[in-house]
Chains A and B, each alone.
Chain A
Amino acid sequence: MDLFEPGSGSQVHDYNGGILTSGLFWTLPVADHQLRFSRDGRHAALDVDRLGVFDSFTFGGPAGTPATVSLHLRWSATGPTVDRGKGEDVPATDPAAFLGRFPVARSTAAIEGTEFGFSFRTNGDASTEGGFAEVGRERNGTFLARGNP
């Protein structure tokens, strides 16, 4: 997540989960109880406190400062659930190499972050008004050949 100076529009903070040697991008494990989805996949909640991340200040910044973030996110579907993706009809490197069922959603986020010398807190909830959200079920990779999402 990124913080920008309102005046200049310059990005000044970039909190992210880093990249593993495998290339796994910005993905961190959380406890199962911290991430909940409704059975129909149309609602979700993520509640994590003081998750360890880095502040690289800009996207792909050459160095990172250890930081923690607390996230309280909610997703609620606002539209019909729609089939997405093209599965094995496209190469595995294609953006559509998945099969899923997703409705467009609305999401809100209350976020706090702390690092040495700086902290921030969102003013109220950030929302996906002017952005985008979706929530649902999917499968990709080897699971494309193994039944429904």
Chain B
Amino acid sequence: MVSQLDSASALSRRRFVQTAAIAAAGATGSLAGPARTLADGHRRHGGPSAVPPTPIPGGIQIPGGPQIHVWAPGDPSVTLPLSGMTLMGFDVDPSAITDFRGFSAVAFHVGTAQGSDGATYDVETDLRAYKGTYIAADGRERFASFAFI
């Protein structure tokens, strides 16, 4: 089963940006559980197995939609050129994982890409990486590496 955020229609990045700005101002709202389940693609595609970690309890509340358990850390003077998203500040947790202790890295890249259709596309990323100890969903302390894509 493959699905995405529980919204009647696709949210635009600009809508997300607006939401992130609201969240940055502290209006995060209450926890809204994901109403639809995403298949965990790493299993479908044969990646390494791990007992999943638990998401951070906070996160950005999508107006009229779910809360997404992630923040947008970084220099608040930076507005990403394609999405228009302004980063939320330095004292913002880069981790999407709670009960975590270890290394974290986050990067918002900008560039271009060549498509197989011959077109050139603009690229913007929010890519992160975590390596360390976490309390897994089964309550046990584990060590693993994760990519946030």
Contacts and interface: CB of A to CB of B under 8 A. Distances in A.
Interface of A: 1-6, 9, 11-13, 15-32, 34-35, 37, 41, 44, 46, 48, 50-54, 56-66, 68-69, 71, 73, 75, 82, 84-86, 91-98, 100, 102, 104-105, 107-109, 111, 118-143, 146, 149
A137 B67 CA distance: 26
A69 B101 CA distance: 27
Per DSSP, are chain B's interface residues mostly helix, strand or loop, or mixed?
A: loop
Interface string B29-65: 0010110011111101111111011111111001001
Interface size class of B (residues with CB under 8 A): 35 or more
Contacts, number: 382
Contact of A22 (B5, B99, B137): B137
B144 A29 contact: yes
A128 B110 contact: yes
A25 B123 contact: no
A62 B122 CA distance: 23
Per DSSP, are chain A's interface residues mostly helix, strand or loop, or mixed?
A: strand
Contact of A32 (B91, B98, B117, B131): B131
Nearest to B126: A1
Contact of A123 (B9, B34, B111): B111
Given A134-B74, A142-B99, A85 B149 contact: no
